[in-house]
């Protein structure tokens, strides 16, 4: 065993309905480079973001965080895996909180991968608790296992509703069919035409690397939104993040250009028959008179329908605007553990006061700006 990995042997809880499987051990590693690519990708479902290639690109992006990978091994085979991230949330008054979150700070979705024949109840609990124990050993104050799809996902553990994720199903054969059934189709068409009248054209780029100049511009546009909203639970991304993401074959870039200059963008990923909208950026001054977020959102819908995809994950926040698009909201649940445990009440209060409440305030602001073309 090297310094770069640690083997954690845990006793998995007994399962009442399936006792045919038991993990020999769970290994904790801190880099995807130490994990066999084929074995990992065999567990990763088509709709999950955390493929081996994606995690390698994310690690190379230079974000201020560290990664933990829990691997469940049975009879020499990888039968389960999970991803978590150690990073720091900055709070008001100069406070900060070192946390581990299941998944990554730049994605939503559950990064728990289980073999079909595995005992899912005990295995998923074992993977999550192994990551929590590994976090405690690294001095983390709060562990947040998040994006669980149901309130009983971890069996007897009490889970809190954390937020809702917006999903748009795409039963339509083309974008015009989608618009025809939409009650606000006239205003949607008007918003999309307003971009053309302002001299903008949309470039859609798939599986094609950005230039350094383009990555710098996209980072600058992303920073404008980052500084506007000051979300304490949003990690600072880098220019290298955009460069690394553009190396991935399944990355889709919607670039809004005027006279060759990019003034807005959306970064999406094709995950099987599903599109995930991940990041965006905008020149707030240049586009101040346009309903830019609204129009770009519908451009994402147009692209996904044109590609024959079946659904879009629009992520969290701005729930009202996404419901108007036709999205359904899916609740995501969380399991929070403090280190030491007596800190739990205080840390939970801080999280709800400065992070989750902040997201609700930001949501209200976005609901105003989405509908205000000015």
**Structural domain includes residue 101:** yes
> Would you say residue 51 lies in a domain?
yes
One domain for residues 119 and 201: no
Q: In CATH, what number is assigned to the domain containing residue 63?
A: 3.40.630.30
Question: Is the same domain home to 194 and 315?
Answer: yes
Domain limit, last residue, from 104, 138, 157: 157
Q: Which residues of the chain have pLDDT under 70?
A: 1-23, 91-93, 117-118, 232, 340-374
> Are residues 198 and 153 part of one domain?
no
Backbone angles phi, psi at 95, to 5 degrees: -80, 155
Measure Cα distances from 79 to 49, 76, 123 in Å: 18, 9, 9
Host H or E run for residue 208: none
At 39 the pLDDT is 97
For residue 29, list its beta bridge partners: 5, 69
- Say yes or no: 21 and 144 in one domain: yes
Which residue segment(s) compose the domain that 208 sits in?
Answer: 167-329
The pLDDT tens digits of the residues spanning 16-67 come to 333 344 557 999 999 999 999 999 999 999 999 999 999 999 999 999 999 9
DSSP string, 89-144: EE-STT-EEEEEEES-TT--S--EEE-TTS-HHHHHHHHHHHHHHHHHHTT-SEEE
* Residue at a domain's end among 314, 329, 344: 329
In a domain, 352, yes or no: no
Residue at token pair 């009650």: 183
Residue 175 and residue 17: Cα distance in Å, rounded?
46
Closest by Cα among 282, 277, 274, 205 to 246: 205
Check residue 369 and give its pLDDT. 31
Phi (first) and psi of residue 311, to 5 degrees: -160, 165
Whether 194 and 146 map to the same domain: the answer is no
Is 116 contained in some domain? yes
Q: Provide the domain count of the chain.
A: 2
- 11 and 148 assigned to the same domain: yes
Instruction: Tell how far CA 189 is from the center of its chain.
Output: 29
Task: State the number of CA atoms in the 13 A half-sphere of 219 facing the CB.
Answer: 19
Q: Tell me which of 157, 176, 200 is where a domain ends.
A: 157
Would you say 28 and 68 are in contact if contact means Cβ atoms under 8 Å apart? yes
177 and 148 fall within a common domain: no
In a domain? residue 368: no
For 177-194, write each residue's pLDDT tens digit.
Answer: 999 999 999 999 999 999
Cα–Cα nearest to 142, from 96, 101, 184, 99: 99
Q: What percent of the chain has pLDDT over 90?
A: 70
Is there a domain that residue 24 lies in? yes
Q: What was the pLDDT predicted at 8?
A: 40
Q: Domain check: are 261 and 243 in the same one? A: yes
Q: Does one domain contain both 153 and 171?
A: no
CB-based contacts of 251, cutoff 8 Å, min separation 6: 206, 207, 245, 267, 268, 269
* Phi, then psi, of 277 in degrees rounded to 5: -90, 120
346 falls within a domain: no
Domain for residue 303, yes or no?
A: yes
Q: Are residues 242 and 114 in the same domain?
A: no
Closest CA to 184 of 291, 324, 290: 324
Asked whether the CA dihedral 161, 165, 170, 176 is positive or negative, the reply is positive
Listed residue (13, 159, 161, 137) closest to 84, CA to CA: 137
Q: Are residues 98 and 173 in the same domain?
A: no
Residues 174, 137 share a domain: no
pTM: 0.86
């Amino acid at each position: 065993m090297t310094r770069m990995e640690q083997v954690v042997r845990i006793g998995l809880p007994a399962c009442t309905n399936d006792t045919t499987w038991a993990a020999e051990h769970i290994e904790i590693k801190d880099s995807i480079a130490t994990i066999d690519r084929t074995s990992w990708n065999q567990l990763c479902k088509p709709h999950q973001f955390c493929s081996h290639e994606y995690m390698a690109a994310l690690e190379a992006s230079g974000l201020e965080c560290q990664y933990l990978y829990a691997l469940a091994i049975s009879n020499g085979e990888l039968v389960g895996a999970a991803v978590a991230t150690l990073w720091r949330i900055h709070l008001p008054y100069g406070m900060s909180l070192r946390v581990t979150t299941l998944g990554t700070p730049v994605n939503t979705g559950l990064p728990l991968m289980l073999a079909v024949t595995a005992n899912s109840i005990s295995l998923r609990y074992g993977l999550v608790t192994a990551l929590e124990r590994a976090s405690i050993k690294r001095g983390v104050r709060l562990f947040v296992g998040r994006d669980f799809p149901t309130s009983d996902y971890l069996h007897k553990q009490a889970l809190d509703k954390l937020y809702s994720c917006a999903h748009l199903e795409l039963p339509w054969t083309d974008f015009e069919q989608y618009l025809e059934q939409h009650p606000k189709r006239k205003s949607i068409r008007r918003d999309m035409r307003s971009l053309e009248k302002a001299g903008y054209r949309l470039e859609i780029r798939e599986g094609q690397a950005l230039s350094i100049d383009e990555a710098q511009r996209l980072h600058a546009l992303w920073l404008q939104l980052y500084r506007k909203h000051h979300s304490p639970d949003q990690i600072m991304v880098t220019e290298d993040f955009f460069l690394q993401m553009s190396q991935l074959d399944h990355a889709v870039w919607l670039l809004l250009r005027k006279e060759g200059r990019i003034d807005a963008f959306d970064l999406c990923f094709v995950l099987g028959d599903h599109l995930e909208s991940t990041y965006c950026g905008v020149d707030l001054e240049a586009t101040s008179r346009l309903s830019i977020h609204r129009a770009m959102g519908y451009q994402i819908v147009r692209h996904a329908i044109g590609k024959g995809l079946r659904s879009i994950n629009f992520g969290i926040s701005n729930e009202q605007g996404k419901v108007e698009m036709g999205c359904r909201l899916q609740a995501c649940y969380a399991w929070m553990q403090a280190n030491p445990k007596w800190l739990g009440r205080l840390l939970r209060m801080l999280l709800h006061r400065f992070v989750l409440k902040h997201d609700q305030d930001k949501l209200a602001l976005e609901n105003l700006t989405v509908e205000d073309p000015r």
